[in-house]
Amino acid sequence: MQKLILIKYGELTTKKANRNLFINKLSDNIKKILKDETVKIKKDRVRMYIETDNVERVSSKLLKVFGLHGIVIAYKVNTNTDDIKQAVLDVLKDKKFKTFKVETKRADKNFEIKSMDFNNVIGSLVLKNFDVKVDVHNPDIVVHIEIRENTYIYLNEEKGIGGYPVGIQGNGLLMLSGGIDSPVAGYMALKRGVNIDCLYFDSPPHTSIEAKNKVIKLAGILNEYSGNIRLLVVPFTKLQEEIYRNVPSDYNITILRRMMYRIATSIDKKYKVIINGESIGQVASQTLSSMSVINSVTNYPIIRPVACLDKLEIIDIAKKIGTYETSILPYEDCCTIFVPKHPVINPQLDKCIAYEKFEYESLIKECVDNIQVIDNFNTDYQDLL
């Protein structure tokens, strides 16, 4: 009896036309995340089978791969009644349960016993060997038996994180700050299959190296979700100082964010979308009128995955995906320094244009030309925290 991991694609199988594309992307992502493991991967149209000598560790890594809807630790035996019976007894031997049911799926119709009848065969066997009862509605254990060319027996199915394989949707650029919201927004974009890079506006010495390291760490945490993330660090100091020199304080943040969007849009045509962590009404720059004035500098689609979530809902996700503890570390962000006392909540476009009379194009170019690219999120950076 061989122990292995069986993966269910779920949502993917409904997209018939793109199925192969999906499956291949998923298997590439799985290979990448398991690159340090010894594994043998086989795939067909409905399942993937992963053989490895460390099933537990490998399946815990798989829990971070998008496009994966069910993960099962299964036992593979030859398709014949005696072998299956023996395997069921072995699998249940150390389990604590009072009630159970058997669910047989017979994909191989050459197998002579019908599913319902086979449920009875195995059910009687279990009743004879253990002090337990059948409960078809709410059993402690479900014994799944999938009869194919080989037979797979498993008990519990662990839910995968769902979504689509990262990369299936092309490239997006995530504006990643050290806050709580933008890592969650990035996670949600990855979940829909967008291959994200991250963009961080760095304003030393007004922002510290710790603030930057925090963003590097957050990018690294996101990258574990089968990403191919590169973090682009924009040297933003000069442009930001010019904004504060030239723009009345109540419009500082509005203009600052317009500059951020301009930079994000001029980095690379391969990015089809910009993603950020704005949430309607959270701060002055995220009222609907602020968002529309800020948005008007670009014709890129801007996706705001957390726009309609409450802060507490965003925090729940941040905790679940492992970014929260890092996000709440107390380092300042470029938006939190020089924050005006009374930021405008209803900014006017003509005023923005009037305030943008200073030479910002060359500064934007300088920002873009001097981007630092980080694609190694190893512990060296994290230890600096």
- Write out the residues near ligand ATP by the rule CB under 6 A: 175-177, 179-182, 199-201, 276-278, 283, 333-335
Q: Which of 119, 177, 223, 326 binds Mg ion (CB under 5 A)?
A: 177
Chosen from Mg ion, ligand ATP, none, partner binding at 277 (C-beta under 5 to 8 Å by type): ligand ATP
Radius of gyration of the chain measured on its C-alpha atoms: 26
Nearer to Mg ion, 9 or 200 (CB): 200
Least distance from ligand ATP to the Cβ atom of residue 98, Å: 47
Least distance from Mg ion to the Cβ atom of residue 11, Å: 32
Q: How many residues does the chain have?
A: 385
Nearer to ligand ATP, 29 or 276 (CB): 276
Nearer to ligand ATP, 108 or 313 (CB): 313
Amino acid at 5: I
Least distance from ligand ATP to the Cβ atom of residue 312, Å: 12
Chosen from Mg ion, ligand ATP, none, partner binding at 276 (C-beta under 5 to 8 Å by type): ligand ATP
Burial class (CB in 10 A: 0-12, 13-18, 19+), 229: buried
Least distance from Mg ion to the Cβ atom of residue 32, Å: 31
Nearer to Mg ion, 139 or 179 (CB): 179
Q: Which of 172, 179, 183, 186 binds Mg ion (CB under 5 A)?
A: 179
Nearer to Mg ion, 172 or 179 (CB): 179
Assign 43 to helix, strand or coil. strand
Chosen from Mg ion, ligand ATP, none, partner binding at 84 (C-beta under 5 to 8 Å by type): none
Chosen from Mg ion, ligand ATP, none, partner binding at 297 (C-beta under 5 to 8 Å by type): none
**Tokens standing for residue 277:** 């962590």
Least distance from ligand ATP to the Cβ atom of residue 236, Å: 7
Chosen from ligand ATP, Mg ion, none, partner binding at 199 (C-beta under 5 to 8 Å by type): ligand ATP
Name residues contacting Mg ion, limited to 305-334 (CB under 5 A): 333
Give the containing element (helix H, strand E) for 183. helix 181-191
Chosen from Mg ion, ligand ATP, none, partner binding at 271 (C-beta under 5 to 8 Å by type): none
Nearer to ligand ATP, 74 or 199 (CB): 199
Least distance from Mg ion to the Cβ atom of residue 306, Å: 12
Nearer to ligand ATP, 177 or 254 (CB): 177
Residues 45 and 61: their CA atoms lie apart, in Å, by 22
In 3D, which of 108, 105, 109 has the Cα closest to residue 122? 105
Chosen from Mg ion, ligand ATP, none, partner binding at 181 (C-beta under 5 to 8 Å by type): ligand ATP
Nearer to ligand ATP, 68 or 173 (CB): 173
Total residues binding Mg ion (CB under 5 A):
3
Nearer to Mg ion, 29 or 182 (CB): 182
Least distance from Mg ion to the Cβ atom of residue 92, Å: 52
Contact 310, 181 (CB under 8 A): no
Least distance from ligand ATP to the Cβ atom of residue 205, Å: 15
Least distance from Mg ion to the Cβ atom of residue 375, Å: 24
Assign 9 to helix, strand or coil. coil
- CA of 233: how far to CAs of 9, 198, 236, 315, 371, in Å? 36, 8, 9, 25, 5
| Letter string b/e over residues 6-45, b meaning 16 or more CB atoms within 10 A of that residue's CB | bbbbbebeeeeeeeeebbebbbebbeebbeeeebeeebee
- Token pair 């199988």 is at which residue? 13
Angle between the 81-92 and 115-129 helix axes, to the nearest 10 degrees? 50
- Please give the angle made by the CA atoms of 54, 60 and 62, to the nearest 5 degrees: 100
Phi/psi at 58 (5° precision): -65, -40
Give residues in contact with Mg ion (CB under 5 A): 177, 179, 333
